[in-house]
Structure 1
Amino acid sequence: MRAAMKALTTAQSEAIRLAYFGGRTHREVAAPLDIPVGTAKTRIRDGMIVARDRLGVTS
């Protein structure tokens, strides 16, 4: 997972750390990053796609 996290942009990494490792909601991710909720959702989704690909997960 560490290698997958290194493949993310800083923005994606911050959002994922808050959401998944911090247990925060999309709103709770958006607030400290001072971004719209939709942007937080996008960063988390895009970051998870990159992480999934790096980990070699198939559906």
Structure 2
Amino acid sequence: MDGDRFAAAAARLAGLTGAVLGWRPDEFWAATPAELAAIFDALAPPGAAPPTQGDLTRLRERFPDG
């Protein structure tokens, strides 16, 4: 992942944690990837599977802006 894509993905994830969890930016940047994954796993519906590569490809095709 190049720097621009990483920055865009991080900004979206930071916004999501702010909206859903009420986190401030310093709380987001202090969290580890494992902590973020655990939180979003807990918020997922029971039995929900993570998206497959095919799911991600279809989403990218439907929403090419990122």
Please give the TM-score of this superposition, normalised by the length of structure 2: 0.31
Q: Which has the larger radius of gyration?
A: 2
The structure in which a higher percent of residues are helix is 1
